[in-house]
Structure 1
């Protein structure tokens, strides 16, 4: 494979430059220079505006770093687009609210309709993306961008380098079907968690968690609890150190004695639901602590593919274990207090 500039220029500023350049190509002036690139740029602008394919684009201006806003664009003297562009980081420091207010103040006496867009070419939890939407931004992911890029062939080295770079990340993310990829490749690990978010109907979240041993990629959901603590499900992917499905506790007065007590009480519920749980090598009482690890949670077929349907059934059994245990403990305590 030939050298690709975007494998070297991985900073968000480089991506800002590409998207600004692409938006500028949507102006009618540039049809004569490269019609395919102009049409693709127009499709990309329509994606940003959530406009239909028959929306005519004639005049486009775009630039970078206006009042710290990553990318701005004006279309047909009708729309103003404010873009927050992200690779692998998330939004922070109330920047979305701040940029929105700057734009509203600037355009308050102008006729432009405002469009606020959050572009994310890396992977991000659907939970955090929902928070972005609540702030009045539409979200555009890598898959949506590639859908535009794959409509036609374009003869331009810069454009094709970026398209190839995005395609490689997408393929890497989707390689989670092979279990070995999940535990060896960060993007595949993220892809696995993104797939779980599609398959699990309740609220879930995932992200990087730092710790003294180098951190891990974590997925957590299904909170329940008893008087002494909250109990929830977590998947901890430490890559070189393996991946584990576990029960965690939080919102408690840390105590290893309590961990032993709960483990003894919850084990019969796990067994009834067809799963085997065991204590970690060592109990550590902290703000959050591992209560139990599910044995043989991840199975593969003869070709090394993760048996995803079986894993989902294991999650359902673990959810049921947590709920039945908490219901039993809380009900019995309520009765004894009456």
Structure 2
């Protein structure tokens, strides 16, 4: 029988704050003999954070503050190093939240800015692009669930609270990664499995972008890939999208994966971009005939691999022009081959971007 796990119930960020402070508390020398495993791990954890932040001093004294200046956790090490921990589970960072905290520390303690560091600690999921956008911060690192598991696997004691935490994170990771075991010829992905797939697609597209194999947009500028949850009256879906794509003055075409527990597809979207006051008027300009003509052009280059959506919605905020039927690459067991699927989508994206002259008299 599987025993109850504290962290199946303690699911809020305040609970995780408390847990991290609990682990850091064992850093102090007084626990070295009475709780050697916890003391050893807490010191390992702090030193690992130092290593990732490139802080080249030996941590000897640790002070913790919770919710001080509205900061989740503030670590003050050796009376001179200030580490802001922004702790998240499913939420994301607010607008320049970490930079605002750094300013508060600077004003409160009059400390040299070079001694203020920040750690974005997240056990939930977040897109690669969202995380990369945070790298503009100085003295900053992030730890995601995989990183955190790899750190906590160094604990070799029998503290049930720490063991529960590790087991809960591994359970979350297994739920996400179970997409690898789904026969997509027979089954649909769950919400958690969709997120796991999108996490992996980030890892597949990243080297393509780094190696210059991810296409630039039709103006020669950088494209990007990102994913997010999209709410709608029918229950919403997770979108994995590729922008900016094939661009015109007021519209752009781009591929987008749409997935929920009922459907899983790659589509080409046509969206207006404009000032808010022009948006409604732009939507009115696009009628059914234009969408049919767009689809005809796409079929000319993609052939039978692209089909008409169930219905055209020219007045909606985003217009689906075509649906691909050959974008997924499955192995003999019906499991998705993420690398080959990413390469397949990448090639379709390149073709789409090459069609700028084809649509110039239509858009």
TM-score of the two chains, using structure 2 as the length reference:
0.83
What do the CA deviations read for 1:277-320 (whole angstroms, capped 9, x no partner)?
11111111222111111014335334231133442343133113
Q: Distance in 2 between matches of 1:69 and 1:180?
A: 44
Q: Does 1:210 align with 2:212?
A: no
Q: Distance in 2 between matches of 1:74 and 1:12?
A: 21
Q: Which of residues 175, 179, 196 in structure 1 aligns to 2:178?
A: 175
Q: Distance in 2 between matches of 1:102 and 1:221?
A: 37
| Equivalent in the alignment of 2:344 | 314
Q: Which of residues 247, 253, 256 in structure 2 aligns to 1:231?
A: 253
Q: Which runs of 5+ in 1 are unaligned?
A: 334-338
Q: Which runs of 5+ in 2 are unaligned?
A: 215-223, 274-281
| Equivalent in the alignment of 2:11 | 10
How far residue 329 of structure 1 moved from its aligned partner, in angstroms, is: 4.0
What count of residue pairs does the alignment treat as equivalent? 328
Q: Distance in 2 between matches of 1:311 and 1:126?
A: 18
Over the residues paired in the alignment, what is the CA RMSD in angstroms? 2.5
Aligned ranges for residues 44-63 of structure 1 at < 5 Å? 44-49=45-50, 50=52, 56-63=58-65
Q: CA distance change for structure 1 residues 215 and 249 in 2, over 3 Å: closer, same or farther?
A: same
8 Å Cα contact 1:77-1:112 kept in structure 2 = no
| Equivalent in the alignment of 1:304 | 334
| Equivalent in the alignment of 1:87 | 89
Aligned ranges for residues 262-281 of structure 1 at < 5 Å? 262-271=294-303, 276-281=305-310
Q: Distance in 1 between matches of 2:149 and 2:57?
A: 20
| Equivalent in the alignment of 1:131 | 133
8 Å Cα contact 1:183-1:189 kept in structure 2 = no
Aligned ranges for residues 275-294 of structure 1 at < 5 Å? 276-285=305-314, 286-294=316-324
What do the CA deviations read for 1:227-252 (whole angstroms, capped 9, x no partner)?
5620001000122x211111001126
Q: CA distance change for structure 1 residues 307 and 144 in 2, over 3 Å: closer, same or farther?
A: closer
8 Å Cα contact 1:28-1:57 kept in structure 2 = no
Q: Distance in 1 between matches of 2:115 and 2:154?
A: 28
TM-score of the two chains, using structure 1 as the length reference:
0.89
What do the CA deviations read for 1:115-136 (whole angstroms, capped 9, x no partner)?
1111111110011111222233
Q: Distance in 2 between matches of 1:64 and 1:75?
A: 15
Q: CA distance change for structure 1 residues 180 and 99 in 2, over 3 Å: closer, same or farther?
A: farther
SS in 1 for 2:300: helix
